Structure 1
């Protein structure tokens, strides 16, 4: 290596060193995330079964989506997931505030609330499927003990989606709780003390002193919760397999049905659904990134 190159490397080693460490991760990200995204865009313009010759149809798959009743149901169910799944964030915050205390046995309570996060989504789906069983499930046992009629949650098209969302909220709330517990450990005690001196107590202390310091945790909770709501495939597959009568389908599950299951093998149509799902995710993530950037810029002024 020439002297000029050596001197350039020395001058820029603080920039080069972290980039070299990041390079393997960046290459994997490009190969397994960025490239498949562009590949999905390309495949969505074709009619293709995944094996034979692809036929270019332009925006034909997207035009078909506009008149597809199953796609409409899946999209509406994703809206339900998005709205109701966000309940995990305030629930996680409330539990974190309750657990952020110095009382005997608090570690045991934290472990119990943390438990849903470490178990598999498949296990969660099976547990709630047993919980919702029409005759011998715990839910109906409780209802009948109270003198109420039993209900078939997963067999009722109007209730099944909400039953699956409730199952998903269990581990998602635990994850948000972990984020907020970590954030609460980083709260500046001097700001808390200053708030007390100014007369802030209870809700005022939480709103004006604690929550502003929890913005990074809230941002992560929002992004992860939205992504989790939009890719809610595993619970649906385990609990209802899209039924009854296709009423619990979401975009990710409908994409799988069309592209990879025995009902479809339409890779182009499945890719078009994936593109729509990608833009929905991109919209929400871009919005939260912009909101966070705007708040930080205003804080510097």
Structure 2
């Protein structure tokens, strides 16, 4: 037995360490996703027997005005969240400077990342309060009346996304700081000898070395934008009149509150397809850029 172990330990150790994660991934993520897709073809209240519905849940989804409102809000989330990687990079470049007191600045920018999304949502709900919130005090100081952003169907989604951007920018900042600490100093020194500095140094020397970090930052940001749920649940509950709803929260409403698990699973399937299409396109684009760069 010992001889067999010694002969095959070069691959047995990796299998032993990877097995728990692989089993959990296939058992929890893949199996649950497949089961959710199967449920989308049934009518089910979560308790009684399932009734075969075919594609009727998807047909109803295509005629549901709330679905298009949620999809539009997801697009707004996606577009606005694209500001997180460049803002995170800018802040990372700022706090990476060897300046006195920069450790305190780093901790202040890092703080939103360690806070829960629920806490961030509560803080910003207080901030947006048009009567006693900080926004109201700012407007009062200039002799104006603060708008009730969370009660305005036209601005509520933008207000919630701005609140969600705060921790997302911090996350991107941490990623880029890790990348900046692993830059090739020889390339930077050679560029300085050639007279490169400022924007030219950033564009031609620093950013190419941060390509992999940038890929991770954008991918995680897009996934975070498309699966946004907790901030909406805390700040607006999808209101007013469903104007701030997104696909993830609509799925929750239909499944948990309306007991329509089949319809909620159909929404989840559409959201999964949207995320899968984007990730596949982004991976293809990045691989093509890597081949062209090589």
TM-score after normalising by structure 2: 0.96
Consecutive unaligned residues of structure 2, counting only runs of 5 or more, are none
1:15 alignment partner, one of 7, 11, 27: 11
Cα offset for 1:286?
1.9
1:288 Cα deviation from its structure 2 partner: 2.6
Cα deviations across residues 211-261 of structure 1 (Å, max 9, x unaligned)? Answer: 111112111111111111111111101101110111000000000000111
- Which ranges of 4 or more aligned residues in structure 1 deviate by more than 4 Å? 9-12
| Aligned CA distance change for structure 1 residues 2 and 205 (closer, same or farther; 3 Å) | closer
SS in 2 for 1:154: helix
Give the one of 215, 228, 242 matched to 2:238.
242
Q: What residue is the counterpart of 1:92 in the other structure?
A: 88
Asked if 1:142 is matched to 2:135, the reply is no
Task: Tell me whether 1:258 sits opposite 2:254 in the alignment.
Answer: yes
2:161 paired residue among 154, 160, 165: 165
Q: Deviations over 1:103-160 (max 9, x none)?
A: 1111111001100110111110110000000111111211221233321010111111
Match of 2:45 in 1: 49
CA distance in 2, matches of 1:230, 1:82: 7
* 1:29–1:146 CA distance, 2 compared to 1 (3 A): same
Q: Counterpart of 2:176?
A: 180
Q: Is 1:277 aligned with 2:271?
A: yes
Which ranges in structure 1 are unaligned for 5 or more consecutive residues?
Answer: none
Distance between the aligned counterparts of 1:204 and 1:147, measured in 2? 45
Quote the Cα distance in structure 1 between the aligned partners of 2:91 and 2:225: 21
Aligned partner of 2:202 in structure 1 is 206
Residue matched to 2:225: 229
- Aligned residue number for residue 20 of structure 2: 24
Instruction: Pick from 273, 279, 283 the counterpart of residue 289 of structure 1.
Output: 283
CA distance in 1, matches of 2:151, 2:208: 44
> What secondary structure is seen at the aligned counterpart in 1 of 2:150?
coil
| Superposition deviation, residue 293 in structure 1 | 2.8
- DSSP-derived class of the 2:33 partner: helix
- State the shift of 1:175 in Å: 0.5
1:63 aligns with 2:65: no
Q: CA RMSD in A?
A: 1.6
Q: Report deviation, 1:2.
A: 11
Measure the CA separation in 2 of the matches of 1:81 and 1:11: 53
Deviation per residue, 1:55-106 (Å, 9 max, x gap):
1111111111110001110010000000101111111000000001111111
In the TM superposition, residue 17 of structure 1 has moved relative to its aligned partner by: 2.0
C-alpha spacing 1:95/1:2, structure 2 compared with 1 (3 Å): closer
